[in-house]
């Protein structure tokens, strides 16, 4: 099977046997077979699929050694600080001297890794470039920086939140989420209702709801967001169930909620992707109790009204500051 994405097409043309190598934060590309390779990823859906096909999946937050491998490929992410975290983590967990390739799209900042590697005292050479991508080669070395330092905490809405590079709105309260909370506050009753925070990010919605007495579940496809939400709940002595999954896939069978609340993503790396938000809206009635409500905030230009109309038969716009809109739809 031929590679589908530009970065994998660049790797495919290398005269290299990648059996038993470690793929780190790769894109979804069928060329990356789980057979005789291992995966280290923050994508919960990709990890689940890899396991289902018999592949080895490592925990990105473990600090235990990954063991001997012939080499590893780090696919440089959109977030430069997340790429630095992956690099530091690999230097901590792989044996010194392990071959390490770094590949990414030129407009995604891959060329900046030259300065990063030089600052860490790691040598580097450019191996190849094509398809507007570049491939660099180095070897793992011991570095003094601890990857755990990438975690940040900040205060918002009277809550202590934990965040990590690659989590939506890293280190600050997103303006859309702020508008959603302002709109929710006078309209949402306090008490023990079941609430789902879909696409939980750093956990601000889950923590805010739990503080008001809701029995909270939270989910996100991003493993960094799942870990951040768990840490945020713990930091505020709040209870909540947090699971990894692609939209509703991680929830227990038969799960039902009186309210689903979300600031859904519409990007996959640099590409616009309405797929997850579309599934969130279309499938929401199946996860709501009768009379249950879907609340979401979105950029005003996004095409969600038609989806809400088709899925619920109607909806309300409860806030609109010309940048963001807050929608509410009720299951009849």
Query: Which residues partner with 58 through β-bridges?
Result: 40
pTM, full prediction: 0.93
Domain that holds residue 213: 151-330
With respect to residue 135, please indicate whether it lies within any of the assigned structural domains. yes
Q: Are residues 245 and 276 in the same domain?
A: yes
Q: Which helix (H) or strand (E) is 111 found in, with range? A: none
Tell me if residue 84 falls in helix, strand or coil: helix
Of the candidates 179, 248, 238, which has an alpha carbon nearest to the alpha carbon of residue 214? 238
Q: Are 226 and 242 contacting, i.e. CB atoms less than 8 angstroms apart? A: yes
Q: Are residues 143 and 211 in the same domain?
A: no
Q: Are 110 and 127 contacting, i.e. CB atoms less than 8 angstroms apart? A: no
Chain center to CA of 116? 23
With respect to residue 256, please indicate whether it lies within any of the assigned structural domains. yes
Q: Are residues 190 and 54 in the same domain?
A: no
In the block, which residue shows the tokens 């755990």?
148
With respect to residue 89, please indicate whether it lies within any of the assigned structural domains. yes
Q: Are residues 120 and 182 in the same domain?
A: no
With respect to residue 1, please indicate whether it lies within any of the assigned structural domains. no
From first to last of the 332 residues of the chain, give the pLDDT tens digit.
899 999 999 999 999 999 999 999 999 999 998 889 999 999 999 999 999 999 999 999 999 999 999 999 999 998 999 999 999 999 999 999 999 999 999 998 999 999 999 999 999 999 999 999 999 999 999 999 999 999 999 999 999 999 999 899 899 999 999 999 999 999 998 889 999 999 999 999 999 999 999 999 999 999 999 999 999 999 999 999 999 999 999 999 999 999 999 999 764 544 444 688 999 999 999 999 999 999 999 999 988 999 999 999 999 999 999 999 999 999 99
Q: Are residues 55 and 160 in the same domain?
A: no
- What are the CB-based long-range contacts (under 8 Å, 24+) for 106-112? 106/132, 106/133, 106/134, 107/132, 107/270, 108/76, 108/77, 108/78, 108/269, 108/270, 109/76, 109/78, 109/80, 109/83, 110/76, 110/134, 110/136, 112/80
**CA-CA-CA-CA torsion sign (150, 154, 160, 166):** negative
With respect to residue 18, please indicate whether it lies within any of the assigned structural domains. yes
With respect to residue 44, please indicate whether it lies within any of the assigned structural domains. yes
What is the gyration radius of the CA atoms in the chain, in angstroms?
21
Q: Are residues 233 and 104 in the same domain?
A: no
CB within 8 Å of 11: residues ≥ 6 apart: 3, 18, 73, 101, 103, 135
Distance CA 126, CA 14 (A): 13
Q: How many CA atoms lie within 13 A of 184 on its CB side?
A: 22
Q: Are residues 174 and 303 in the same domain?
A: yes
Q: Are residues 202 and 285 in the same domain?
A: yes
Count up the domains in the chain and report the number. 2
Domain endpoint, select from 89, 119, 147: 147
Tell me if residue 285 falls in helix, strand or coil: helix
Q: Are residues 29 and 130 in the same domain?
A: yes
Q: Are residues 171 and 125 in the same domain?
A: no
With respect to residue 205, please indicate whether it lies within any of the assigned structural domains. yes
Q: Are residues 219 and 323 in the same domain?
A: yes
Q: Are 296 and 324 contacting, i.e. CB atoms less than 8 angstroms apart? A: no
Q: Are residues 134 and 182 in the same domain?
A: no
Domain endpoint, select from 147, 171, 203: 147
Domain endpoint, select from 115, 131, 147: 147
Tell me if residue 194 falls in helix, strand or coil: strand
Tell me if residue 23 falls in helix, strand or coil: strand
Q: The domain spanning residue 47 has which CATH number?
A: 3.40.50.150
Of the candidates 51, 59, 86, 84, which has an alpha carbon nearest to the alpha carbon of residue 72? 86
């Amino acid at each position: 099977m031929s590679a589908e994405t530009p970065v994998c097409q660049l790797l495919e043309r290398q005269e290299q046997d990648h059996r038993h190598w470690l793929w780190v934060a790769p894109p979804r590309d069928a060329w990356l077979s789980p057979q005789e390779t291992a995966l280290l990823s923050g994508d919960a859906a990709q990890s689940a699929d890899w396991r289902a096909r018999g592949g080895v999946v490592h925990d990105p937050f473990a600090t235990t050694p990954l063991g001997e491998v012939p080499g590893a490929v780090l696919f440089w992410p959109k977030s430069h600080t997340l790429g630095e975290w992956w690099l530091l983590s690999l230097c901590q967990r792989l044996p010194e001297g392990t071959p390490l390739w770094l590949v990414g799209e030129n407009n995604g900042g891959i060329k900046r890794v030259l300065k990063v590697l030089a600052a860490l005292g790691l040598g580097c050479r450019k191996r190849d470039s094509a398809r507007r991508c570049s491939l660099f080669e180095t070897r793992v070395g011991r570095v003094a920086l601890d990857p755990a330092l990438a975690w940040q905490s900040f205060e918002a809405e009277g809550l202590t939140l934990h965040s990590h590079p690659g989590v939506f709105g890293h280190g600050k309260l997103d303006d859309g989420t702020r508008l959603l909370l302002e709109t929710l506050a006078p309209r949402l009753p306090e008490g023990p209702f079941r609430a789902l925070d879909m696409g939980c990010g750093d956990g601000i919605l889950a923590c805010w709801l739990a503080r008001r007495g809701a029995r909270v579940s939270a989910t996100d496809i991003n493993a960094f967001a799942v870990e951040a939400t768990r840490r945020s709940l713990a930091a505020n002595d709040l209870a909540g169930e947090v699971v990894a999954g692609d939209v509703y896939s991680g929830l227990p069978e038969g799960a039902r909620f009186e309210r689903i609340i979300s600031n859904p993503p519409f990007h996959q790396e640099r590409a616009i992707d309405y797929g997850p938000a579309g599934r969130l809206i279309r499938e929401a009635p199946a996860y709501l109790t009768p009379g249950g409500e879907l609340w979401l905030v979105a950029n005003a230009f996004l095409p969600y009204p038609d989806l809400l109309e088709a899925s619920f038969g109607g909806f309300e716009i409860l806030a609109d500051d010309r940048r963001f809109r807050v929608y509410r739809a009720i299951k009849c």
